[in-house]
Structures are given as C-alpha cells and as structure tokens.
Chains A and B, each alone.
Chain A
C-alpha cells in the first residue's frame, strides 16, 4: 500500500517537474465559428513547437470577449466586431486581429429546400423571425409550420445576423421557437427537423443543412466564399482573434502563425475566406 502511494507521488512530482521545465499551456476561448481554425492551427503549431500546448474551448464570441476583459484566457476568439460597451471595458488593452471572413448563411432543413424554398429576401427572413410569417407555404415551400431557431444573445452569429436582418444586434425575435448555442447544436437542430430555419456560418453547411440565397428576385446571392470575397452577400463578417497587448511571446507567435501562409491555408481548408 505504502509502495503504491510513493509510486503515485513520484509520478506526480516527476510530471510537475516536467511541466515546470519547459511546457507552456495557452488557452483560447470564444466563438465556435473561429474554433475549428484555431484548434486545427493549435495542433499544427504544437507539432512545430512541442513545448507549447494550446487548449481551445467554445462558448461564443461574447464569452471570448468577456474572457479578455476578465483575463480568463490567453487568446480570445470572436466572430463579430467588438461593440462600444465592450471596447470601453477593454480600454484599448487588446489587439483585434482579423484572421478570416465568412458568410452567415440562412439555413433551412433539407425538406424545406427540396420543397421549393431556395431563396428569401432580408424582409421575408425578418418577418419569419418576428413571427409574422409562420408557414413555409407562404414562401412557396411545403405546408408546414416554420421551426424558427434563434441563438443565444452572446453568439457572434446571432449578433451579425440580427444586425443585418432585424436592424439591431440585440433585437428580439418574437417568432423564435427555440434557442440554440454552438454551431454544432444549431446544425444538429436544423438537420433533425423537416421545417427549420436557422443561422450558421457557411462552413457548416451540408446535405441536411442547406444555405439559402439571400436577396430580392434575380439579385439573390448564395452564401459562399466567392460572394463574401466580392462583398455581394449581405450577411458577411470578419472572424477575429483577440490578443492582450501584454500577451506572452508564445501567444503572440501563435497569433502570427494564424496569419502566416500556413495558418491562412488552415483558414481556407476550414471553409472560410483567407485575409492574406
């Protein structure tokens, strides 16, 4: 019994010593839209710099920005711009680095898409979220009630979407039937329904979760990288990482890595528009 205890103690001490000797752990938190890029980059970076480990967690852009204000993470991730109140609380102590751009796609369940809804105008989307349009039939789709998925207020996607569609980043959505959180959760909700509408970064579209063209008549534009690049898609945005001005050399180097050739290749591979 005593032997086992000593053995465990030895392992703990050995581990602690190894930790102290070289390893550095950085923590990144925030937007689940930026997360795939940063976590892939973190793996590649760890291979290049084995002494630096980067852990990545989600929570949403609001959480990413709050983590910079409260010093609970080394690197913040945000899929929207910082608003005035947050800027005041950050007090200019954080650098905002834009690493990518993407489109916030208006997504519907496959059955709705197949049923005939391929595009919507901003006004129609707003009417759905305000609860004025309640059935897909009104929009040329199947005769089914619209399952309106809203997102948590802290989510960057919600912020950008509400600003473009409802005119205010924090506007109420009276027509909403359910609130979702991360992109994974949203994607699962839309995929499991036959009558859902939601909002997702263009990189998360798949066969069960279809992106609609947004705009009036012939001018409707698909949410893809091409239309983000030429600026014609109406709900597009920049994806940021946030770095405190007094960040460690390792954190700064990792941020530079995201903007390097290799980092930007990861951005493109994740389905976003690279900025360099």
Chain B
C-alpha cells in the first residue's frame, strides 16, 4: 500500500513537471514563432507597441542572482564552518535553528523590510535618486538564499568522516591547512549542491525582488551599473501577468519569460542532483 502510494506520488510529480513545461511551451509558442531568438538581444519591452525584448530582464535577473551569490557563498560557508567546527553543541543547534527560521520567513516580508529599511538606507548613504536598484535586489536575495547555502554546507561538513579528521590531525596539519586541504574539499560536493539550489531560488524569487528592483524595463547603462532601477524576469511577470489577456501576444511573451526561468532553474537543480549522485557513487 505504502509502496503503491510512493510510486504514485513519484509519477504524479513527474507528470506535473512535464505538464507545466508543456503548458509554458505551448503558451509561449506564438511568441517564439513571431519574435524568435532575436528577442534575446533586444532591450525594448513595450507591450502596447508590440515590442517584447527579453534582454533587459535577463541582464537584471543575472546581476541580481550574481550579487546574491557573491555575498551569500562566502558568508554561508564561513557560517557553516564556524558552527560545525568551532562552536559548542548548544550554540551550533541555536545557529542552525536560526538559519532554518530565516528560511521560513515569507518572501513578501523580506520585500517589505527591504522597502522600509534597505531602500531608504541605500538612498541616503549612496546619495541616489532612489534606492530601487539591482544592488538592493541582490542584497535582499543574499539574505534569502543564505540559509540554503549554510544548511547544506553544514550537513556536508559534518559528514566529513572522523577518520579523515584524525588523519589530518595526526599529520600535524594546522587549523587553516585542515580547513583548506581536508574539510572544504571533502565537503565540496554538498556545498556545491547548496550553491546551485540557492542560485535557483535567487533566480526564481518574485515578490521581494519586485518590491525593490524598480521594475524599469531598460538595460542598465553602462551594463554594470548596479545602482540604476532595473527589471528581472520574475518581477516583470509579477507586475504584468494580471492585466495580460489569456492568449494574447503579451501573455505569450510573459510565458516565454516563465519558460526561460523554468528551464534555467530545472537545469540547475538537475545539475545539483547529478553532481550529488556522482559523489555518492564515488565514495
């Protein structure tokens, strides 16, 4: 009975993923047919003028995720090392439940905190016209993906076997050598999976990003200007999906954005999964 139920659940989840992708492909098909791959290079998105360029939102999503990871990876790994290797047991579990709590906060709460605290802070400290920009989105996302990286890294570090640790200690390795030569390389597959999952979450996050990114559909000038209001794929979908009529070209273009995001995140999580599988086989 339990076996049947588990099999059914597995199949259902597979079917849901396929249906979802199928729906996105079907709905975005008119868009790909009319605009084709050239739309990846156009930054103009004016639905009422039938201009649906994807470049601005792709660049926005890319920067926001990159900033988030650039901050969250070192911080997350450092926090994991600190809590598994250095802290005593009660502090370790405290820091871990703190991280899990952080992961449980709804994203709209992060968005509102960003709106009320982060944006005014950025605006006044950097003397900007507005705090709405890619940096704000990246900073907010870094806090949101931090728990994923830290918790995964923590698990990976604590799985490094006692034998390895003893061997390292008996070779007379110092703390930093042990960390760089033994602990991190041994734990790396798990940490890498955490990073990939975090990247998926950073790319897919909508609500919090939508509130702080500014939703301006233009390519930052110059393209590395992180202090200008911009747009991400998710915030564009969030802002516009309600008004676009089902079946219209606007809707189809938004579904194309959705398909793009879905394929990237699915690829990333498959990658994360495959890498962990490999590792399990190796050991």
Using a Cβ–Cβ cut-off of 8 Å, how many residues does chain A contribute to the interface with B?
27
> B262 at interface (Cβ–Cβ under 8 A)?
no
> B96 at interface (Cβ–Cβ under 8 A)?
no
Among B47, B49, B242, B245, find the residue whose CB has the most chain A CB atoms closer than 10 A.
B242
- CB of A63 within 8 A of CB of B239, answer no
Q: Which of A175-183, A236-244, A260-268 contacts B (4 or more CB under 8 A)?
A: A175-183
- CB of A193 within 8 A of CB of B216, answer no
- CB of B129 within 8 A of CB of A152, answer no
Give chain A's interface secondary structure class.
mixed
Bound Cα distance from A193 to B127, whole angstroms: 11
- CB of B244 within 8 A of CB of A178, answer no
Bound Cα distance from A65 to B248, whole angstroms: 15
> A141 at interface (Cβ–Cβ under 8 A)?
no
Task: List A contacts of B229 (CB < 8 A).
Answer: 177-179
> B278 at interface (Cβ–Cβ under 8 A)?
no
Q: How far is the CB of B233 from chain A (nearest CB, A)?
A: 15
- The count of A-to-B residue pairs whose CB atoms sit within 8 angstroms is 67
CB neighbors of B among A36-72 (8 A): 59-60, 62-63, 65-66, 69-70
- CB of B49 within 8 A of CB of A154, answer no
- CB of B240 within 8 A of CB of A69, answer no
- CB of A170 within 8 A of CB of B49, answer yes
CB neighbors of A among B114-170 (8 A): 115, 119-120, 123, 129-130, 132
Given contacts A176-B216, A178-B215, is CB(A89)–CB(B239) below 8 Å? no
- CB of B214 within 8 A of CB of A193, answer no
- CB of A172 within 8 A of CB of B46, answer yes
CB neighbors of A among B93-114 (8 A): none
> A19 at interface (Cβ–Cβ under 8 A)?
no
Beyond A152-B240, A178-B130, list 6 extra A-B contacts (CB 8 Å).
A153-B48, A154-B243, A172-B46, A179-B216, A181-B239, A188-B115
Interface set of B (CB-CB < 8 Å, partner A): 46-49, 115, 119-120, 123, 129-130, 132, 214-217, 229, 239-240, 242-246
Q: List 29 A-B contacts (CB under 8 A).
A: A59-B242, A60-B242, A62-B243, A63-B242, A66-B242, A66-B244, A69-B245, A69-B246, A70-B245, A70-B246, A89-B245, A147-B130, A152-B240, A152-B243, A154-B240, A154-B243, A170-B48, A170-B49, A176-B216, A177-B129, A177-B229, A178-B130, A178-B132, A178-B229, A179-B214, A179-B215, A179-B239, A193-B123, A195-B129
